[in-house]
Structures are given as structure tokens and as C-alpha cells.
Chains A and B, each alone.
Chain A
Amino acid sequence: MLHTVAVLVENNPGVLARVAGLFSRRGFNIDSLAVGRTDDPAISRMTIVVEGDHRTLEQVTKQLHKLVDVIKINDITEEAHVERELVMIKVIADRTTKLEIMQIADVFRAKIVDFGPKTLTLEATGTEDKVNALEEALRPYSIKELMRTGKIAMLRGAKYTSLK
């Protein structure tokens, strides 16, 4: 099962290597990892999607906690949360297919961010499912490149992972 874990870390050099190294060394599988700074520039936040049963997750959490740079960990999988992922997709498009692709973009509320003579580049945000569906919908049109940021996630309502 996939778990979504929110991790606050000190924004120290090497912290990403420590976290990534821990996962590979202990044999945990990372599905995606997104990282960026928070409103406090000294603190970064990672959203890690990791595969495993409850026991694995318990180990992941405990081992992460052992890293001195890790401040807080929240497995938010089972809690109400908002999650988003950003995707950019470049598709080959000629005059006839451009219109179809733009219609698909419309359905998924994706934006056209680049309009080339032979290509269209779409940008979309949404849950993993939505992004997957968009990818499937565009597959018949010869995708030239595609990249996803990995999921970021936040608890809903009054609950939070920050230190405040």
C-alpha cells in the first residue's frame, strides 16, 4: 500500500542525501518525493510517498526520526488531506489534432503553456488520479515528454504538520 508521509527537516546541506540514503539503505521503496522550503527558510518540507505495509511504515517513521535533521513526521495517508501534483506534457500535434488536444485540456482544466508549430505543451495540477487520467487521454497523441513533480500534500482543517 502507498503511504503519504509529510516530513519537516532542517534545511541543512546534505539533508536530502541523508533521507534518500536512509530509504535505499533500509530497502524502503520511494514512489515519489517532493521537497521545498516552507515559510521558514530554515525548514524544508518533504512529501514522501512510500510503499509498504504498516510494519514497514512504522520502521520508515522511526528511522527517519533518528536523523538529527528530521524535525517532524506525519503519516497522513488515513487522515483527511489535500494532495496535488503538477504535470507537464509535451505532445506532438498537427493542425487537426491540436484542436482535439485542446478539448482534452479543457476537460481536465489543463493549461496550454507552450504552443509550438508541431507541439503543444500542457500543464495540469490535480490529484494523482486526475494526472494519470490526463496522461492516458493524451497517450494516443504521441507524448514527446512528460514529467511530474511528485505529490505534495497537506492536512485539511485545523490539523497541521508545521511547527506552529
Chain B
Amino acid sequence: MEITVAEALVRCLEMEDVDLVFGYPGGSILPVYDALYNSENIKHILTRHEQGAAHAASGYSRATGKVAVCMSTSGPGATNLVTGIANAYMDSIPMVCITGQVSTLQVGTDAFQEVDITGITMPIVKHSYLLKDPKQLPSVIKKAFHIASTGRPGPVVIDLPRDVQDVKINFEYPKQTELSGYNPTYKGHPSQVAKAAKLIKNSKRPVIYAGGGVINSGASETLLQLAETISAPVVNTLMGLGTIPGDHPLSLGMLGLHGARYANLAVTNCDLLIAVGARFDDRVTGKIAAFAPDAEVIHIDIDPAEIGKNVISHLPIVGDTKTVLQALLKKIEPQENKGWFEQVQNWKKEHPITYSRRTENLKPQRVVERVYQYTNGQSVVATDVGQHQMWAVQYYKFNRPRGLVTSGGLGCMGFGLPGAIGAQIGRPNESVVLISGDGSFQMSMNELATAAEQNLPLKIFILNNHRLGMVRQLQEFYCDKRYMAVDFQFNLDFAALAELYGMRGYKVTSEDELEEVLPKVFDQPGAVIVNCLIDEQENVMPMVRAGKGIGE
């Protein structure tokens, strides 16, 4: 049967079990939206900005593990997606982004709303297609989903010229894809796995360093099994939080720049570092030479290019983290490492993550701590970027994978609200909390309309310090307190804003008020914004100084 490319696209998406797309329409993608009109299976979420659509798709994928789809028109619609695509790329999030393009004959003529989006996004996509041959549509979509979701996941862009969308083609969805240049390795090399088992056996002070790759591969349980079998404490990257329950005795939380002192001490003193689905980012390692200086490094990752990129590993294992860990588990025996375990527990006692509650002011850490307690650690927590993000991950213990939805690699302010929207849509029956800052929130607060329109019961806490706290903290330490462009002169009543969107709004300025408001927030079904006026001087601690090793 002959159908248009636009109709075929919708059929392809249905074949890929897509029931949801985030997007924003426009002239160059008109036929696709027209085809969506007829689809009973695909719901379209209209955001208020294309960046919101990309971030919401990314939040949806982060919370569910599914491939998310976002779409926009050509030109400004497409460029508005770019930050969201970069954000997904940096955190290895599977996404398919469909952009309209001017008609093939106009491509290259600087036509109205023409931009070269495949060119612009080239360094921030896993792959991209500019579809010129209408017949190729089904196979391109098949490939796009395959590429986005397999191996190391990532975003794929498909640019669809306007005239191509209207061409009729004979629709048949391919069962398989053929990509001679794309063949991710899943199974770890057996001899490497055997060597790893030997290194583990000989180690007395092992540490597992687990990142987002563990979550992507669904390897959290396997990782926990490994940790428990060899009694190895686990440190997490920001993206890896939740791979081991945050309240587990072997969990040391986040390492690195704002990581727990005990996590950094464990890494600095270990004799074996087992890196799993992590990439030795500079926020994690600090001064490379002082990172795990006494350790042999086993590096397990599906992306061979990560191995040896930042840190030389003694034993690389390329493969899917879950598959490799399962193979490894078969080769190892229980280990106690008693002295090491006690040493680590002592560090935990000596250097806890704390804050001072003595002042009159409401401490941001207290807000997060109470939200954690109030939700029994069961909420999905989305964050923006800044101090509040660090407090969120220091004081909320993530007890399961995909419990944290945050912008890691890109550190992208404005991700929080749309990210939370995507997460709540993906997990409609769960509590989703957004912890944001007044700066970040104002970058995307237009998406409150989307949340209201979709009736999403988001619980939004704005840790409001009337400033760009994280940058101010940097200026305090590195610019001699010469504060430049970090204090807001105009401040907004976020509680009143909530009312405008038909949500509840509260302002809290003290611990007592916080206690009063918490039940009101969580014991009613609707969306809430809590404007928390926190201690404006508060800094994120601990903090490894620039150029220093994380153990110093």
C-alpha cells in the first residue's frame, strides 16, 4: 500500500512502540503533524519551547530507559533542540530527534528557516541522517532507533525535507538493519574477565567506581552482587547514583569535586579500582596523577574509546557492563577485606557530609534531607544545575536506578523542569520531585504551562538564594570575592507564579515553616511549587580545589 513518507514515519514510530513524542510544530514539518493527527497510538506533548521538548524527551528516557522521540520544525525549531541534544549526547541518552527541513530543491539556498541541522549537530550526535530519498525512510528510522538504543546509547537526528514528507512510498518496515560499520561489542573477552577475577582475588582494598553505563545497561543488581561478594565499597559518579542503594553500607555516594570525603579517600587509598560504565571525567578525577595513585585499574565499558582516554587502565574489558559483570561473577569467590571495610567505615564516621544547623536561616541541605525523609527516598528526583544540584545528590539517597534525573556531562541549567515533566510522564504513578535553583528555574519556567496542561503533579522545590549560587561560590574562592553578575536584583514570588498556573504555591523561610508545608505538598494530589528562601551564604562542601587531587 502506498502512503506518504510522513504517514510512513508515524507507522515506523508505532512499530518501534513509541506512544509518545515531545515536540513543537511549524511549516516544514506540517505533513508529519498532519499524519500524527490520525494516529491513535501516539500522543503528542506540546511543550512551550523546542528546548523543553528535547529536555523532556531526555528526562523521559532517563526515567524509563526507553528511546525518547522529539520533533521540531526547521530553522529556529531545529536550533532550539540543540542544547537538549548535546545534553543527551553527553549523558549517553537514547533519543531520536526528527526535524523538518526546507524542500530538497531549496536546501543550500539560505531559504526561509533553513539551517544545516545535521551539520550543526554533527559533534553532538551519535549519528544523523538527512533524508533525500523517500524510499529510504523506513530503513533510516529502523537504523536510527537501533543506533540510538544499542551499544553506548545516544541521540540520533533525522532531518526530513518538506517535499520528501509528501512523497508516496510503498511502506514496509524492515525487520533488521544492516550497518557494516556499526557493531558494538557486548561480551567481554573471556581472558580479560579471567584476569580481572585474578586482580580482584589479589586485592586487599578494592573499590568499585560505577557510572551511568551501569544504569544504561540495567546492571545495578549485578553490580550490587559483585560489591557484596567481594565486600568492595562503591563510589558513584553523578550519573551512576542509584546503581547501589544510597543507604547500603557499601555505598559511599558520589566521588570527585563535591563528593564525600570518605568516597575520595577510599579511591585515593584503594589498591584496585574497578571502573564500570564510567569515563574518568575531570569532575571526578581532579588532578589525574593523584587519582587512585596506588591502584590497578580495571575498566569495563561498552565504548572502547573511553578506555585509556583520560586514565590508563591496566585491564580494559570492552563490553556491556551487565554481561561482563555477570561473567565476572562466575569467576570470583567471596572476599571479606575486613580491615579495609572497617577503615572505610571509620572514614565515614570521621568525615561525614554535614552542614551547620545553628543559624536562624533555612539551610538548603535541611530541605533536601527532609524531602528525602518525607518521601522515604522513593521519589524520582529531577534537578537543575548549580549548588542545589549538589545538595540534592548529597542529601537525597537514591535507592534505585533511574531515581535521579539530572544533567551530568553538560551541566545544563534549564534542564530541571522539562526533565521532570518527561520523568513524570514516563512514570505517571510515581512521585516526581524537582529540586531547582532560582537561576536555573527561570531558564525553563515557561514549561510550567506544559506541566499544567498535562496535569502533572510535580512537587517543585526551588532552593532560592536570589543568586547564581554556584558561580558565586566559584568567585568567592577563585576571584577574591569579586562578585560579578551573580546576584539577582529582581526576584520573583514563585509561590504566586504557581497560582497563575493553577498550582499550589508556598513560601518557606524557616525549618518550622518547612515542617508545616511538607504535608501540604505531599498529601495532596496536585502540582506544587515551594519557594524555599534559603541561607544565601551557604556553600557546597566538601569541595576539592582546582588542580588538586581528590584525596588532598
Closest chain A residue, CB of each to CB of B182: A68
Q: Interface-forming stretch among A59-67, A93-101, A119-127?
A: A59-67
| Given A10-B181, A71-B180, also A65-B304 (CB < 8 A) | yes
State whether the Cβ of A48 lies closer than 8 Å to any Cβ in chain B.
no
Judge whether B126 and A21 touch: CB under 8 Å.
no
Cβ contacts under 8 Å, A62 to chain B: 304-305, 307
State whether the Cβ of B122 lies closer than 8 Å to any Cβ in chain A.
yes
Q: Interface-forming stretch among A12-20, A80-88, A105-113, A146-154?
A: A12-20
State whether the Cβ of B547 lies closer than 8 Å to any Cβ in chain A.
no
Judge whether A59 and B130 touch: CB under 8 Å.
no
State whether the Cβ of A79 lies closer than 8 Å to any Cβ in chain B.
no
Judge whether A68 and B181 touch: CB under 8 Å.
yes
Cβ contacts under 8 Å, A66 to chain B: 303, 305
Query: Total number of A-B contacts with CB less than 8 angstroms?
Result: 44
Expressed in whole angstroms, the minimum distance between the Cβ of A162 and any Cβ of chain B is 12
Cβ contacts under 8 Å, B339 to chain A: none
Question: 1/0 per position for A44-77, CB-CB distance to B under 8 A?
Answer: 0000000000010011001101111111100000
Expressed in whole angstroms, the minimum distance between the Cβ of A164 and any Cβ of chain B is 13
Interface residue count for B (Cβ, 8 Å)?
Answer: 20
Judge whether B179 and A68 touch: CB under 8 Å.
yes
Expressed in whole angstroms, the minimum distance between the Cβ of B417 and any Cβ of chain A is 30
Report the separation of the CA atoms of residues A120 and B271 in the bound assembly, to the nearest whole angstrom: 69
Judge whether B181 and A58 touch: CB under 8 Å.
no
State whether the Cβ of B123 lies closer than 8 Å to any Cβ in chain A.
yes
State whether the Cβ of A134 lies closer than 8 Å to any Cβ in chain B.
no
Question: 1/0 per position for B101-141, CB-CB distance to A under 8 A?
Answer: 00000000000000000110011001110101000000000
Judge whether A59 and B309 touch: CB under 8 Å.
yes
Closest chain B residue, CB of each to CB of A22: B123
Cβ contacts under 8 Å, B118 to chain A: 14
State whether the Cβ of B308 lies closer than 8 Å to any Cβ in chain A.
yes
Cβ contacts under 8 Å, A13 to chain B: 130, 132
Among the interface residues B181, B305, B308, which one has the most CB atoms of the partner chain A within 10 A? B181
State whether the Cβ of A89 lies closer than 8 Å to any Cβ in chain B.
no
Cβ contacts under 8 Å, B309 to chain A: 59
Report the separation of the CA atoms of residues A31 and B182 in the bound assembly, to the nearest whole angstrom: 27
Expressed in whole angstroms, the minimum distance between the Cβ of A44 and any Cβ of chain B is 12
Closest chain B residue, CB of each to CB of A67: B181
Judge whether A21 and B130 touch: CB under 8 Å.
no
Report the separation of the CA atoms of residues A25 and B86 in the bound assembly, to the nearest whole angstrom: 14
Report the separation of the CA atoms of residues A25 and B304 in the bound assembly, to the nearest whole angstrom: 18
| Given A55-B308, A58-B308, also A69-B122 (CB < 8 A) | no
Report the separation of the CA atoms of residues A58 and B179 in the bound assembly, to the nearest whole angstrom: 23
Judge whether A59 and B123 touch: CB under 8 Å.
no
Question: 1/0 per position for A9-40, CB-CB distance to B under 8 A?
Answer: 11001100110011001000000000000000
Judge whether A68 and B127 touch: CB under 8 Å.
yes
Q: Would you list which residues of chain B between 296 and 317 have a CB under 8 Å from chain A?
A: 303-305, 307-309
Report the separation of the CA atoms of residues A52 and B3 in the bound assembly, to the nearest whole angstrom: 52
Cβ contacts under 8 Å, B305 to chain A: 59, 62-63, 65-66
Cβ contacts under 8 Å, A21 to chain B: 122-123
Partner of B122, one of A9, A18, A68, A163: A18
Partner of B147, one of A9, A58, A68, A70: A68
Cβ contacts under 8 Å, B127 to chain A: 67-68
Closest chain B residue, CB of each to CB of A8: B181
Report the separation of the CA atoms of residues A21 and B118 in the bound assembly, to the nearest whole angstrom: 12
Judge whether A71 and B181 touch: CB under 8 Å.
yes
Among the interface residues A9, A18, A70, which one has the most CB atoms of the partner chain B within 10 A? A18
Expressed in whole angstroms, the minimum distance between the Cβ of A149 and any Cβ of chain B is 25
Among the interface residues B126, B180, B304, which one has the most CB atoms of the partner chain A within 10 A? B180
Cβ contacts under 8 Å, A163 to chain B: 180
Cβ contacts under 8 Å, A59 to chain B: 305, 308-309
| Given A62-B304, A62-B305, A63-B305, also A68-B126 (CB < 8 A) | yes
Expressed in whole angstroms, the minimum distance between the Cβ of B306 and any Cβ of chain A is 8
Judge whether B182 and A17 touch: CB under 8 Å.
no
Closest chain B residue, CB of each to CB of A64: B305
| Given A59-B305, A59-B309, also A70-B122 (CB < 8 A) | no
Judge whether A9 and B119 touch: CB under 8 Å.
no
Closest chain B residue, CB of each to CB of A58: B308
Among the interface residues B119, B130, B147, B305, which one has the most CB atoms of the partner chain A within 10 A? B305
Cβ contacts under 8 Å, A14 to chain B: 118-119, 122, 128, 130
Judge whether A10 and B180 touch: CB under 8 Å.
yes
Cβ contacts under 8 Å, A71 to chain B: 180-181
Report the separation of the CA atoms of residues A66 and B153 in the bound assembly, to the nearest whole angstrom: 12
Report the separation of the CA atoms of residues A18 and B128 in the bound assembly, to the nearest whole angstrom: 10
Cβ contacts under 8 Å, A55 to chain B: 308
Expressed in whole angstroms, the minimum distance between the Cβ of B270 and any Cβ of chain A is 24
With A66-B303, A68-B126 known, 14 other A-B pairs at CB within 8 A are A13-B132, A14-B118, A14-B119, A14-B130, A17-B122, A21-B123, A22-B123, A25-B123, A58-B308, A62-B304, A65-B304, A66-B305, A68-B147, A72-B181
Task: Name A's B-contacting residues (CB within 8 A).
Answer: 9-10, 13-14, 17-18, 21-22, 25, 55, 58-59, 62-63, 65-72, 163
| 9 tightest Cβ-Cβ pairs between the two chains A and B | A62-B305, A71-B181, A68-B127, A68-B182, A25-B123, A71-B180, A70-B181, A62-B304, A21-B122
Sample of 17 A–B contacts (CB below 8 Å) = A14-B119, A14-B130, A17-B122, A21-B122, A21-B123, A22-B123, A25-B123, A58-B308, A59-B305, A62-B304, A62-B307, A63-B305, A67-B127, A67-B181, A69-B181, A70-B181, A163-B180
